Every structure is written in C-alpha cells, then in structure tokens.
Amino acid sequence: MDRLKLLGWQVLSVAILVLAWEAAVRWRLVDPLFVPAPSAILGVLRTTGGEALPRLGDTLLKTLLGYALAIGAGVPSGIVLGSRPTAHAVVMPYIVALYGVPKILVLPWIALIFGIGLSTAVLSAAVFALFPVVVLVAAGTRDVDPALVTVAASMGASRVQIARKVLLPAVLPSVLTAMRVAMVFALLGALIAEMLAGNRGMGFQMQRMALAFRAAELFAATVIVSVVSIAVVLFLEHLNRRLGRWR
Amino acid sequence: MRVWLWRSAVLVVALAVWEISARMLNPMLYVGPSRLPAALGRVLSTRDLPPLPGHLWLTLSEIAAAYAFAIAGGLWVGFLLGLRQSLGRVYEPLLATLYAVPSVIWYPSLMLFLGLGPASKIAFGFLLGFFPVTLAVLAGIRQVPAALVTVAVSMGARPFTVFRKVMLPAMASTLAGGLRTGLALSVVGVLVGELLGARAGLGYVINYAYGLMMTAEYAALVVLVAVAVLLLDGAAALVEQRVKTWTA
C-alpha cells in the first residue's frame, strides 16, 4: 500500500508538471517554436518513433561494441592493478588523471583518424567506458581481504580453486557495478561521437533536428532515448541483484 | 620515493612511445609531444585562430556561472528533499532515474531553446553539476546520526545550531566529494556544449583548429585544456582533503 501511494504521488507530480508545461505553451508563456507542448510531442511520437527505432538500433550496436571493448580490456586491467600494490601505486594516478580529463577533447582526433561512422563511435564509447571500469574493478580487487586467500591456501586449495571459490565471488560485486556504470558511459560516448562527427544514429539525428528547429521531433526523440536508457539501466540493476544473490 | 621514480619512468616511456609512433606515422594526423610547444606558440600568436585569452575568459565565466547555479540548485533541492522525508521519498527515486539517462541527449534541446550562445553551455554545465551535488546532500543527510540530533534538540539547541554543530560535521566529507564531482561535471558540460555547437569559447577554438586540419595546434589546445582541467580538479581535491581532515 505504501509503495503504491508513493508511486501515486510520483505519477501525480509528473502529470502536474506535464499539464503545467502544456498550459505554459497554450498561453504562450514560452514559444512553441522552441519548446513544443507535450500534446505536440505526443502527436509526433509515433512517426518519430518509427524513424527513430532503426537509428536507435544503430546507436545501441555501437554502444554494445564499445561496451564490450571497455569491459574486455578494463576488467582484466582492473584486476591486475588491484592485485599488485606496486603497479597500483605507480600506474593508478595516471588512470585517475585520464579518467578526469573530458574525453570529448580527443573525439575530433579519433574522428580524423577513423573517419565519420561506426569505428569512431565504437571507440568513443569504449574510451568513455574504459576508465570507470578500471577504477571500479581495481578498487574492488584491492578490497579483497588477503586473509581469505591465505586461509584457503593454507587449507590446501589449488590456485584454480582459490581463483574460483575465493577471488571470483569477492571481486564479482565490483565487476557487476562496473558493468552497470559502464553502460551509461558507453551510451554517452556513442551519442556524443554521433553528435560531433556522425552521419547516422540517434545522436546525429538529434543534433540535426535541433539545428533544423524541429522541436517537437527533437523532444520526442529525447523522450525515446531517455526511456530506452532508463530501461537498459534498470535491466542491468535487476541482473545485478539476481547475480548478487548467487554469491 | 621508489614509487615516484617508477611513476616518472612510466611517464617518460609513454611520452617516448608517443613521440616515436607519431614520427613513424602521418604527421598530418599524429602529433608527437616534441611538436606541441611550437604549436602552442602558434596558437597564441597566429591570426588564423581566434585569439585565445578572450575565449578562455568566456569559458571560465561559463563554468563559474554553471557551477554556481549547480551548487545553489543542488543544495536547495538536496536539503529540501533530505529534510522533508515525505518529499524525499517521492522525488529522490525520480532524480536517481533521471541520472541514469546519458546526459548529452539534453543538449540538443537546450541548444534549440537557448541558442548557440553562452546560455546553453551554462544550462548544460548546471544540469550536469546539479545531480552529484543534490545526491551528495541527500547521502550526507542520511549519514547524520538521528540520535545526536535528538539529543541536541532535547538539550535546547536551536535549529541553526543543530545544523551547524551536528549535521554539517557529519555530512561535510560526503558533501565535499559531491561538490568536487559537481565541479568536474560542470566543466565537462561547458566544454561539451562548446564543442557541439558554439560561436566562442575554448571548445569553439578547438573545433576551429580541428576544422582547418591544424592538427598540431589542435593537439596543443587539447593538452592545454586537459592540464587546466586536472589542475582545477587537483585544487578541488585539496579542498576536499582539508574538509575531511577537519571533520575526522
């Protein structure tokens, strides 16, 4: 009952917000050329949605490829860095520094080398997602209690057994967190690359709609991308909890 | 000490690898570190590029404005939702869900609404910086031990005293972390905005150099901006450290 009431309040507030927005446009408090009314957005949602789906698929494909690259490179690097204190002390400051540099700065250069299209967006997604993965997994690996390993080894566990039964479950939560966080970063990287140097995909399309003053379509596209990314993140969180229980 | 030696060695090796590979590859696309100082000099002196100081100043003002709005908005919403728990329980999940959306998709709408001038950059920097500040305030308030507040109130402390003496010390370290992340994201927001569509600012100059295929100048600008961003974040990290030692 309580959760239902909460949900009711949330729906109600969003509804009031949308109605106020609609009223503001109807009464010309804002110019519909720039901010379309929710009803206008709803009107174009179907057509925009039809156009958007293949483009969104394009973007999601780039995201997934970049995501796979970032996870494939980032998780092993993170585990290595987390399990070797010297390497961690030497290399980690650089990783953290690179994490802090806005990745969009190097995007023009990537586009210059790889051209406008798939590989640039994939690499961009990978670059955006890589550093958080390395940092999160390294931190998670470092936090594994060394006593666990010592105890298992002293009780005669083999290296494979230690890796499977002790290290994997201990590192898994941080890997799962990294996998969830990386998805948003990869999507961000792919979309920014499409906006900056793309000829297709959702980011390119949205940038073009903005420059052509197609406000209603742009807002509809924004709604669609938001809903899809929220759905992806919620799905990954759900997966996280399921896998977390296995531990 | 040994660690510092290794760190410098890594840096030297990385620079050497960069230099050697850049020399072996197409100089139009790959710029080695040795070409950067001269390129930076050209950036500052050439008439092919827009004059840097004015654009730098504009970008810094945009960042300052965006961050100021992000702090004001983040603190206000954070304390509002954190102190009125009925409001917090309704709206915090909505905020957290919005945070999961890749932020850049808001930018085209902002550009359409606010134009290509500074306003859309400030708005985007605000939007990015707002979330970490708000979420840090909410997380910080949860860290305040309720018993301490009860005790302070029952001993007759006024609301402001409770806030200053009990709540603030308990949440300061989380809050400082959020403010630092907020600054970093406000900077990113302004830079992204300038690169995606602007008529002035550092991002515009970078785009300009890149558009003219002045790769060396572009690389010099990127290194310059990256170093500036890291210095800014380093300063924020120092402040964060001070706050942590103050409360510990």
CA distance A191 to chain B (A): 7
Q: How is residue A169 written in tokens?
A: 């479950």
Residue B18 has a pLDDT of 86
Residue B48 has a pLDDT of 66
- List per-block mean pLDDT (blocks of 10 residues) for chain A, which spans 247 residues: 81 89 84 81 81 86 94 92 86 88 89 84 94 92 80 80 78 87 91 85 84 85 88 86 71
Neighbours of A195 (CB within 10 A): 27
Q: How far is CA A192 from CA A97, B29, B71, in A?
A: 21, 21, 25
By C-alpha distance, the chain A residue nearest B91 is A10
Domain limits at A142?
31-246
Q: How far is CA A239 from CA A174, B80, B214, in A?
A: 14, 33, 47
Residue B74 has a pLDDT of 94
Let me know if residue B205 belongs to a domain: yes
Q: What is the mean pLDDT of residues B33-43?
A: 80
Residue B62 pLDDT greater than 90, yes or no: yes
Whole-model pTM? 0.88
Count how many Cα atoms sit within 13 Å of the Cα of residue B227 in the half-sphere of its side chain.
6
Identify the CATH number of the domain in which residue B232 sits. 1.10.3720.10
Let me know if residue A25 belongs to a domain: no
Let me know if residue A153 belongs to a domain: yes
Cβ-defined contact of A230 to B195 (cutoff 8 Å)? no
Residues of B in contact with A196 (CB under 8 A): 195-196
Let me know if residue B23 belongs to a domain: no
Q: Is B95 on the interface with A (CB under 8 A)?
A: no
Identify the CATH number of the domain in which residue A94 sits. 1.10.3720.10
Let me know if residue A12 belongs to a domain: no
Q: Is A90 on the interface with B (CB under 8 A)?
A: yes
Cβ-defined contact of A109 to B222 (cutoff 8 Å)? yes
Residue B61 pLDDT greater than 90, yes or no: yes
Cβ-defined contact of B90 to A9 (cutoff 8 Å)? yes
Cα–Cα distance between B52 and B203 in angstroms, integer? 11
Q: What are the pLDDT digits (tens) for B109-127? A: 888 888 888 899 999 999 9
Cβ-defined contact of B90 to A6 (cutoff 8 Å)? yes
Let me know if residue B112 belongs to a domain: yes
Residue B69 pLDDT greater than 70, yes or no: yes
Residue B9 has a pLDDT of 87
* CB proximity under 8 Å: B 127-186 to A: 184
Cα–Cα distance between A111 and B155 in angstroms, integer? 64
User: How big is the CA angle at A93 (ends A91 and A95), to the nearest 5 degrees?
Assistant: 70
Report which DSSP code applies to B84.
Answer: S
Let me know if residue B90 belongs to a domain: yes
Let me know if residue B181 belongs to a domain: yes
Give the count of domains, chain B: 1
Q: What are the pLDDT digits (tens) for B80-109? A: 998 888 888 888 888 888 888 888 888 888
Residue A78 has a pLDDT of 92
Let me know if residue B140 belongs to a domain: yes
Domain limits at B154?
51-247
Q: What is the mean pLDDT of residues B151-162?
A: 84
Cβ-defined contact of A222 to B113 (cutoff 8 Å)? no
ipTM comes to 0.85
Cα–Cα distance between A218 and B83 in angstroms, integer? 37
Residues of B in contact with A94 (CB under 8 A): 7, 10-11, 14
Residues with Cβ < 8 Å from A25, sequence gap 6 or more? A32, A35, A36, A37, A40
Let me know if residue B120 belongs to a domain: yes
Let me know if residue A207 belongs to a domain: yes
Question: Is residue B63 very low, low, confident or very high in pLDDT (cuts 50, 70, 90)?
Answer: very high
Let me know if residue A48 belongs to a domain: yes
Question: Is residue B76 very low, low, confident or very high in pLDDT (cuts 50, 70, 90)?
Answer: very high
Residue B216 has a pLDDT of 83
Residue B133 pLDDT greater than 90, yes or no: yes
Residues of B in contact with A9 (CB under 8 A): 90
Question: Is residue B192 very low, low, confident or very high in pLDDT (cuts 50, 70, 90)?
Answer: very high
Let me know if residue B45 belongs to a domain: no
Residue A1 has a pLDDT of 54
Residues with Cβ < 8 Å from A119, sequence gap 6 or more? none
Residue A21 has a pLDDT of 87
Residues of B in contact with A234 (CB under 8 A): 100
Spatial CA neighbour of A119 closest among A184, A191, A66: A66
